[in-house]
Amino acid sequence: MTDGVPDWLAVDWGTSNLRVWAMTGDGRALGLRTSDRGMGRLAPEQFEEALKECAGDWIAGPVTAIACGMVGARQGWIEAPYIAVPAAPLGDRPVRAPTRTPGLSVHILPGMSQDRPADVMRGEETQIAGFLARSPGWDGVMCLPGSHTKWVQVSAGEVVSFQTYMTGELFAALSGHTVLRHSVGGDGWDDAAFAEAVEDARAAPERLAARLFPLRAEGLLHGQTAAVARARLSGLLIGAELAAARPYWLGQRVGLIGEGTLAGRYRAALEAQGVPVETADADAVTLAGLAAAWAGIRERA
Amino acid sequence: MTDGVPDWLAVDWGTSNLRVWAMTGDGRALGLRTSDRGMGRLAPEQFEEALKECAGDWIAGPVTAIACGMVGARQGWIEAPYIAVPAAPLGDRPVRAPTRTPGLSVHILPGMSQDRPADVMRGEETQIAGFLARSPGWDGVMCLPGSHTKWVQVSAGEVVSFQTYMTGELFAALSGHTVLRHSVGGDGWDDAAFAEAVEDARAAPERLAARLFPLRAEGLLHGQTAAVARARLSGLLIGAELAAARPYWLGQRVGLIGEGTLAGRYRAALEAQGVPVETADADAVTLAGLAAAWAGIRERA
């Protein structure tokens, strides 16, 4: 950073939000600016202006921005085609986005795809690359909780396979758009109810479908609180995910990316199964992944 | 029916809709009038007027109406408390709703509740009673498909146990309020994809959570059609229901109440498991149940 101008910009551009960090040449973040102009509400020709509006005076002179996330989807700024697994995340040829601003160069990192079972990711590959940049040689399974939680098998620096679970979105749809909305409202939580429900669903996943409506009926008949119902719904869905993802975590060490509330629930659920978990901060590995990509671009320049 | 005046009125009053039939003394329906003034949009003091508006000149002189459904919920016209199973459906004391119209008497049928696992129904008990009125001595398991599908064990004229599955509402929430909405749009359908998905979920229910996002990814990567994705989503959810409801249908004969599209899917799924299915028309058994209740009230009068 010279005279208030960042050496480069790190950009995490998802469906709903845009986040831009001013970065130093050695990978430190000096500041963060955010916007709600996510990819979902922008036409291709609007991305450049949205980035400039969010970054403000960080785009005053020549600067390079490295971006990951849905900005590289077919409906984004420009498509950054998926890299098929097994492969190292990020590859070595980010896609250059078209720009009109003199001196501004924007590189968009590709997502990853898997042929069978069909699956895709955009954004998580950058976190995986960042995790590996910080822990070279790490082998194992990563879990990236979110609306769409990813389980990722990593070996020898490559993503070998991965699987997406819509658990977070399922929780939102059930608690917002079904009769359960009357039973799980508010922000209440009950750790014991969560733990019990994870175990119920993990141990007998074939009974999951029978366990949803009782969340409503227990309230009607027995006065079950919204806090218990809410924690139990979350536990049932995460337990069902653990049942399905068993081949990923059984007998493995798990790298959990994220340190917020949701990641804490995954950690509790995994540790209850005796799985050793190491956590990494999501933003830190995102920035490490973008920094690795920036270094690669600079080397090739 | 004398001089254009029905002998009584049969009323099916759910959360979203109100349906009123003009009935003869021997249980034939002479006409049906419907309204969108369901229980969900009415305050207690508005029910009488909504019924009169819908029934029109059928409420010209003294008349008795027999009503089932959410009209008897705590938030309805007047609460008709649940009858706890095991018990015969309907009981013998419907709740009289308060009315101001001279000559109009309205009787609301109670729902049923189950202590453990907690469960409730309102409306289905009338269909069960109607099914039994038409087939005295019938023992077995009834399946009542809907937004909330009910599985009901019936023996010696009593409901022994039952279980509610939110399968229909889950399908609507997933196809309307998650990323799958981009993949399952329209009305398309694929019978083979449905059958395969039912079997996938029934045979390996522990993998259900892993099978949702591929409905999206198969479209992105391999061009899977919306018709296939839609049928497959429905099949996965009905298959998961069959896995959980296995103690209900295994080795049983199943009485399926309903003859529409949804009931047809349940029939196909059950017959694929070798389960013999006999169907009954939902409206016919609703009317038979209401007629049985009307006859009981007349006897006691």
Establish if B1 belongs to a structural domain.
Answer: no
Q: How far apart are CA B294 and CA B68, in angstroms?
A: 12
Closest CA to B47 of B23, B65, B63, B31: B65
- A80, A95, A117 — which closes off a domain? A117
- Report cis status (omega within 30 of 0) of the bond before A86: yes
Confidence of residue A3 (pLDDT cuts 50, 70, 90): low
Q: Do A209 and A140 share a structural domain?
A: yes
Q: Do B213 and A166 touch (CB under 8 A)?
A: yes
Q: Tokens 């490559």 identify what position?
A: A158
Alpha-helix residue ranges (DSSP H) falling in chain A: 47-55, 124-134, 167-177, 191-203, 213-222, 226-244, 246-249, 261-272, 282-300
Tell me the per-residue pLDDT of A244-265, one tens digit each, with 9 for 90 and over: 999 999 999 999 999 899 999 9
Contacts of B210 in chain A (CB under 8 A): 117, 163, 165, 244-245
Residue percentage of chain B with pLDDT more than 90: 95
Chain A: residue nearest B164 by CA?
Answer: A213
Mention every residue, 6+ apart, whose C-beta is less than 8 A from residue B22. Answer: B1, B6, B9, B29, B30, B31, B32, B58
CA distance A119 to chain B (A): 5
CA distance A214 to chain B (A): 5
- Report cis status (omega within 30 of 0) of the bond before B205: no
Chain B: residue nearest A221 by CA?
Answer: B118
User: Could you list the residue range(s) of the whole structural domain that residue B169 is in?
Assistant: 165-280
Q: What is the residue type of B1? A: M
Closest CA to B253 of B143, B164, B126: B143
Q: Is the pLDDT of residue A5 over 90?
A: no
Calculate ∠ Cα A169-A45-A71, nearest 5°: 35
Confidence of residue B259 (pLDDT cuts 50, 70, 90): confident
Output the pLDDT for position A301.
79
B279 contacts chain A (CB < 8 A):
no
Q: How far apart are CA A157 and CA B181, in angstroms?
A: 35
Q: How far apart are CA B288 and CA B141, in angstroms?
A: 19
Q: Do A201 and A55 share a structural domain?
A: no
Q: How far apart are CA A41 and CA A44, in angstroms?
A: 10
Q: Do B273 and B171 share a structural domain?
A: yes
Q: Do B12 and B117 share a structural domain?
A: yes
Establish if B248 belongs to a structural domain.
Answer: yes
Tell me the per-residue pLDDT of A14-65, one tens digit each, with 9 for 90 and over: 999 999 999 999 999 999 999 999 999 999 999 999 999 999 999 998 999 9
3-state SS of chain B is: CECCECCEEEEEECCCCEEEEEECCCCCEEEEEEECCCHHHCCHHHHHHHHHHHHHHHCCCCEEEEEECHHHCCCCCCCCCCEECCECCCCCCCEECCCCCCCEEEEECCCEEECCCCEEECCHHHHHHHHHHHCCCCCEEEEECCCCEEEEEEECCEEEEEEEECHHHHHHHHHHHCHHHHCCCCCCCCHHHHHHHHHHHHHCHHHHHHHCHHHHHHHHHHCCCHHHHHHHHHHHHHHHHHHHCHHHHCCCCEEEECCCHHHHHHHHHHHHCCCCEEEECHHHHHHHHHHHHHHHHHHHC
Q: What is the residue type of B264? A: G
Mention every residue, 6+ apart, whose C-beta is less than 8 A from residue A61. Answer: A5, A103
Q: Is the pLDDT of residue A4 over 80?
A: no
Computed over every residue of chain B, the mean pLDDT equals 96
Establish if A299 belongs to a structural domain.
Answer: no
For residue A296, what are the CA distances in angstroms to A104, A174, A301, B108, B242? 18, 43, 9, 74, 52
Which CATH number belongs to the domain containing residue A43 in this structure? Answer: 3.30.420.300
- For residues B117-124, give the mean pLDDT: 98
Establish if A291 belongs to a structural domain.
Answer: no
Closest CA to A232 of A191, A261, A263, A268: A191
Q: Is the pLDDT of residue B288 over 60?
A: yes
Lowest mean pLDDT among A9-13, B29-33, B297-301: B297-301
Q: Do B181 and B250 share a structural domain?
A: yes
Chain A: residue nearest B202 by CA?
Answer: A206
- For residues B155-171, give the mean pLDDT: 97
- For residues A195-210, give the mean pLDDT: 97
B198 contacts chain A (CB < 8 A):
no
B181 contacts chain A (CB < 8 A):
no
Q: Do A177 and B176 touch (CB under 8 A)?
A: yes
Q: Is the pLDDT of residue B225 over 60?
A: yes
Chain B: residue nearest A148 by CA?
Answer: B213
Q: Do A89 and A165 share a structural domain?
A: no
**Residue B277: both structure tokens together:** 């299915």
What phi and psi values does residue A136 have, to the nearest 5 degrees? -55, 140
- For residues B250-267, give the mean pLDDT: 94
A179 contacts chain B (CB < 8 A):
yes
CB nearest to A245's CB, from B178, B210, B244: B210
Q: How far apart are CA B266 and CA B140, in angstroms?
A: 17
- B63, B92, B122 — which closes off a domain? B122
Q: Is the pLDDT of residue B139 over 60?
A: yes
Contacts of A210 in chain B (CB under 8 A): 117, 163, 165, 244-245
Q: Do B113 and B182 share a structural domain?
A: no
Confidence of residue B93 (pLDDT cuts 50, 70, 90): confident
Q: What's the full length of chain B, in residues?
A: 301
Output the pLDDT for position A2.
59
Q: Tokens 């019990």 identify what position?
A: A196
What's CA B260's distance to the chain center, in Å?
12
Confidence of residue B301 (pLDDT cuts 50, 70, 90): confident
Q: Do A19 and A137 share a structural domain?
A: no
Closest CA to B171 of B236, B249, B87: B236
A 76-115 → B contacts, CB under 8 A? 113-115
Closest CA to A29 of A54, A56, A58: A58
Residue percentage of chain A with pLDDT more than 90: 95
Beta partners for A150? Answer: A144, A164
Q: Do A193 and A127 share a structural domain?
A: yes
3-state secondary structure of A255: strand
Q: Do B148 and A179 touch (CB under 8 A)?
A: yes
Q: How far apart are CA A167 and CA B250, in angstroms?
A: 30
A 51-70 → B contacts, CB under 8 A? none
Q: Do B179 and A163 touch (CB under 8 A)?
A: no
A116 contacts chain B (CB < 8 A):
no
Contacts of B220 in chain A (CB under 8 A): 118, 120
Q: Do B257 and B173 share a structural domain?
A: yes
CB nearest to B221's CB, from A120, A165, A212: A120
Chain A: residue nearest B244 by CA?
Answer: A207
Residue percentage of chain A with pLDDT more than 70: 99
- For residues B222-230, give the mean pLDDT: 98
Burial class (CB in 10 A: 0-12, 13-18, 19+), A138: middle
Tell me the per-residue pLDDT of A71-126, one tens digit each, with 9 for 90 and over: 999 999 999 999 999 999 998 889 999 999 999 999 999 999 999 999 999 999 99
Contacts of B118 in chain A (CB under 8 A): 214, 217-218, 220-222, 224
Establish if B157 belongs to a structural domain.
Answer: no
Residue percentage of chain B with pLDDT more than 70: 99
Establish if A292 belongs to a structural domain.
Answer: no
Output the pLDDT for position B2.
59
DSSP state of A47: H
Q: Do B114 and B169 share a structural domain?
A: no
Output the pLDDT for position B136.
94
Contacts of A174 in chain B (CB under 8 A): 170, 173
Is residue A25 within 8 A of residue A66, CB to CB? The reply is no
A124 contacts chain B (CB < 8 A):
no
Q: Which residues of B209-220 are buried (b: 16+ CB within 10 A; e: fewer)?
A: bbbbbbbbbbbb
Q: How far apart are CA B97 and CA B80, in angstroms?
A: 9
Q: Is the pLDDT of residue B3 over 70?
A: no
Q: How far apart are CA A219 and CA A224, in angstroms?
A: 4
- A93, A117, A141 — which closes off a domain? A117
Number of domains chain B is built from: 2
CB nearest to A178's CB, from B163, B164, B166: B166
What's CA A268's distance to the chain center, in Å?
19
What phi and psi values does residue A63 have, to the nearest 5 degrees? -155, 150
Q: Do A102 and A34 share a structural domain?
A: yes
Establish if B144 belongs to a structural domain.
Answer: no
Q: Do B173 and A173 touch (CB under 8 A)?
A: yes
Contacts of B208 in chain A (CB under 8 A): 205, 208, 240, 244
- For residues B108-117, give the mean pLDDT: 98
Computed over every residue of chain A, the mean pLDDT equals 96
B214 contacts chain A (CB < 8 A):
yes
CB nearest to B214's CB, from A117, A176, A245: A117
Establish if A146 belongs to a structural domain.
Answer: yes
Q: Do B166 and A179 touch (CB under 8 A)?
A: yes
Which CATH number belongs to the domain containing residue A177 in this structure? Answer: 3.30.420.310
